[in-house]
Copies of this chain bind each other. A is one copy, B any other.
Amino acid sequence: MTLALAQARAAAARDEVPIGAVIIGPDGAVLAADGNRVEALKDPTAHAELLVIREAAAKLGAPRLVDCDLYVTLEPCPMCAQAIAFARIRRLYYGAADPKGGGVEHGPRIFAQPTCHHAPEVYSGIAETEAADLLRGFFRARR
C-alpha cells in the first residue's frame, strides 16, 4: 500500500485525482503500479485500477490475472470492481471507503451481484487515513 500511496501522490502532482494502484504477481513481486491518468490520457476509463490491470495482463500475456493481488488507495468504482472480477484478482486491498462513487461496499456492491462470476477476497481500511487525507487535500485545494 506504501507504493500505491506513492502513485496516488504522483497523480496529485500531475493534477489528477490522487488514487494509486499496484498489482502484485504470483511470485510476490510488483507486476504493475500506476496512478489515475484520466486527464493526461483524455480517457474516462484511465482509473488507476484499470491501468494496472491492463499493464499486468499485457505482461503476463493473459486476460486473467491468476493468483495476483491488487492494492488501491480508494474503494474501487463499479467499473473497476467489475474489471477486477473479470481479471480474476485473488485479493483486493483498499484504503479509504468511497460512499459517493464506490462499487464494493457502496452503490451496486458489484461482487455481491448475481451477474458477478468471480469475487476477490476483500480487505478494506488499509492505510485508510493517509489515503483519505490525500483526497481531501486535493479537493480542498480546488474549491
- Chain A residues with a Cβ under 8 A of chain B: 38-39, 41-46, 50, 53-54, 57-58, 60-65, 77-83, 86-88, 100-103, 106-110, 113-117
Partner of A54, one of B39, B43, B82, B115: B43
Oligomer copy total: 2
Q: Are B63 and A82 in contact (CB under 8 A)?
A: no
Partner of A45, one of B39, B54, B114: B54
* SS of A interface (majority): loop
Chain B neighbourhood of A86, CB < 8 A: 44-45, 79
Q: How far is the CA of A53 from the CA of B107 in the complex (A)?
A: 23
Q: Given the interface contacts A108-B110, A110-B108, does A78 sit within 8 Å of B115 by beta carbon? A: yes
